[in-house]
Structure 1
């Protein structure tokens, strides 16, 4: 039992578990904001056009009252959350791509060694600035 508790403590202390816990807490707070947006702002706006709040929409079938307005509100909540998550994921991917490109550019050499005088010259140079030798291997040169 002591080994189990020790392993559990190690598992909980891992960064991934803590990141996930923080994500769940932020997600719950975000859901509350979206619920309020739909309930307090979108539903009244829809009521201006339909005459009824979404939560009031219902239909009677065989004596049973089916309230489908709350379901529509939940679907709207879902699509708003999915849209915002999609935008956030795209933004994070773009930021990672920009970071990867800048790291890639930083790792590319900007200078090369002149094969004749052994001094460092710009990577795109066609003639050494120190010994003035034409460098082979570039367009327009033999």
Structure 2
């Protein structure tokens, strides 16, 4: 078996296609979560804490010559510990984990509802007289 045919059979498997679709949707979903955090959650958190601050500019200098007030400028001046970016990424993770939890919970609930449905009962056999008449009919058809 050549490498090309092995690759073709590998790609044709359903699991690989499902994984590729999941990765693509996950990438798109990451953009949605980032926008949710940066454009909706963080401004609300800033308003609640009184100042409308942005976590991304929270850092402290690891070297003495950093005097900048923004993260971008501080990175140019020296070594810094940018904990504000970590807080934002951590909030993104929590929101994403919560949404995935709710999705899995919903799917599990649907599965449980499907399992609880009573199995369709097999139709009851016809009464004996109807069965006998059907047999007579079938015999007469053959003659």
TM-score, normalized by the shorter chain, greater than 0.5 = yes
Q: Is the 8 A contact 1:58 1:66 kept in 2?
A: yes
Higher relative contact order (CA 8 A, sep 6+): 2
Partner of 1:11: 10
Residue number among 106, 125, 140 corresponding to 2:119 in the alignment? 106
Residues matched between the structures, number = 113
Q: What's the Cα RMSD here?
A: 2.4
Query: Per residue, is there more helix in 1 or in 2?
Result: 2
TM-score (norm 2): 0.68
* 1:21–1:100 Cα change, 3 Å: same
| Corresponding residue number in structure 2 for 1:131 | none
Flag structure 1 segments of 5+ consecutive residues without an equivalent.
120-142
Q: Any idea what SS the aligned residue of 2:60 has? A: strand
Structure 1 residue ranges (4+ consecutive) displaced by more than 6 angstroms after TM superposition:
none
**Unmatched 5+ residue regions in structure 2?**
65-78, 130-143
Quote the Cα distance in structure 1 between the aligned partners of 2:106 and 2:14: 23
TM normalised by structure 1 equals: 0.68
Q: Which has the higher strand share?
A: 1
State the Cα distance separating 1:109 from its structure 2 match: 5.7
